Copies of this chain bind each other. A is one copy, B any other.
Amino acid sequence: MRRKVTLKQIAKELDISISTVSKSLRDSHEISEETRQKVQAFAKLYNYKPNNIALSLKNKKTKTIGIIIPEIVHHFFATVISGIEQVANEKGYNVIVCLSDESFDKEVINLEMLASGSTDGFIMSLSKETQQKKDFHHIEEVINQGMPVVLFDRITNDVFCDKVIIDDQQAAYDAVSFFIEKKYKNIALITTVDYVSVGKLRTEGYLKALKEHKIAAQNHLILKIEDIEHCQDSITELLQNNEIDAVFAVNELFAVTAIKTALKLGKKVPVDIAVIGFTDGIISQFSTPTITTVSQNGIKMGQKAAKILIDRLEKEEEDEQYTTEIIETNLVFRESTTT
């Protein structure tokens, strides 16, 4: 075993001081050409790499970004991480990932853990429980301690910080307006309970589109799903008991379940029922029929969030001006709608 070599060892070996070694490796002009060469050659030979931890302690920055998300087994979140990773890597940052598992407590614990010196800042998306409790003191605490936070997708307006979102309401509005223009009469909505911020906004977009086209919203066409694991039954009920010719679903899972249920009930998609989903993930691409969907560019969200965070980290002055970046969405047309 060949342990990692330190400045101290190099200094001893070469019989010079640690300071001289350090300066030589940083190519300081204080040091003679000769010494520099010698030290550099030696360091190379022994494959010297400065210890990140020591540097972090000294510089008071870790060059790492903390990511806290509800789940990773979610194509959208994986996609965002991928985007963050990309720009973080380019700028010499590492990425620590923690999962809240949709739990408030885990979110708090992870945040505090990472805030104790491990990261320079955070990129996060709130857990469901956090959104439900509306308790954001942990995030405010961290910001107060001088660590910037960028919130994305599942955000809150109660915390002042940078945010990266899509215009959920507008995107839903566009999707539903498409249906209306195509003369669909009974447009159902399959959404989440209201405390999920993005679900609520998408619901609002649906309602707004109906209202602006002077169509009365009908409560029995709106399904708010609490328990995602068992959405099957309520969706069956929805489709069975109503004359529905179009469905707007606020996520992929609801969309694919609606399609499968419709098929099972003997209806044809998109002929009898057209479906538009949300999030252009794996399911939308590989379902049969493939699903028309609002594409929510996760990679871009991640990239943008990372850019904003790193800019703030590397800016000298404290800038109290927070931005909310809105990533554009668009409808990706596939087989679950007719054109």
Tell me the A residues contacting B by CB distance below 8 Å.
1-4, 47, 49-54, 56-57, 62, 64, 71-75, 78-79, 81-82, 85, 89, 94-99, 106, 110, 112-118, 141, 144-146, 256, 259-260, 263, 281-283, 286-288, 318
Copies of this protein in the complex: 2
Chain B contacts for A144, CB-based, 8 A = 1-2
Q: A4-B116, A89-B110, A286-B286 are in contact. List 15 more A-B contacts (CB 8 A).
A: A1-B144, A4-B145, A52-B116, A53-B117, A72-B78, A72-B85, A75-B282, A81-B97, A94-B98, A94-B114, A96-B97, A260-B288, A281-B282, A282-B283, A283-B286
Chain B contacts for A117, CB-based, 8 A = 4, 51-54
Instruction: State the CA gap A288–B95 with chains docked (Å).
Output: 37
Are B73 and A75 in contact (CB-based, < 8 A)?
yes
Instruction: State the CA gap A160–B142 with chains docked (Å).
Output: 42
Instruction: State the CA gap A7–B3 with chains docked (Å).
Output: 31
Instruction: State the CA gap A49–B94 with chains docked (Å).
Output: 23
Instruction: State the CA gap A89–B79 with chains docked (Å).
Output: 23
CB distance from A84 to the nearest CB of B (A): 10
Instruction: State the CA gap A311–B193 with chains docked (Å).
Output: 42
Chain B contacts for A56, CB-based, 8 A = 53
Are A116 and B49 in contact (CB-based, < 8 A)?
yes
Are A75 and B72 in contact (CB-based, < 8 A)?
no
Instruction: State the CA gap A273–B101 with chains docked (Å).
Output: 40
Chain B contacts for A94, CB-based, 8 A = 96, 98, 113-114, 118
Known A73-B82, A256-B286, A288-B287: A2·B51 in contact at CB below 8 Å: no
Instruction: State the CA gap A283–B79 with chains docked (Å).
Output: 16
Instruction: State the CA gap A53–B116 with chains docked (Å).
Output: 8
26 CB < 8 A contacts A-B: A1-B144, A2-B144, A2-B145, A3-B146, A49-B115, A49-B116, A50-B116, A51-B116, A52-B116, A53-B53, A53-B117, A54-B57, A71-B82, A72-B72, A72-B78, A72-B81, A72-B85, A73-B78, A75-B75, A85-B97, A94-B113, A94-B114, A94-B118, A263-B288, A283-B283, A287-B287
Instruction: State the CA gap A225–B64 with chains docked (Å).
Output: 38
Chain B contacts for A115, CB-based, 8 A = 49
Instruction: State the CA gap A144–B2 with chains docked (Å).
Output: 6
Among residues of B, the one whose C-beta sits closest to the C-beta of A54 is B57
Chain B contacts for A71, CB-based, 8 A = 82
Chain B contacts for A112, CB-based, 8 A = 49
Chain B contacts for A116, CB-based, 8 A = 4, 49-52
Partner of A1, one of B50, B146, B287: B146
Partner of A287, one of B52, B62, B79, B286: B286
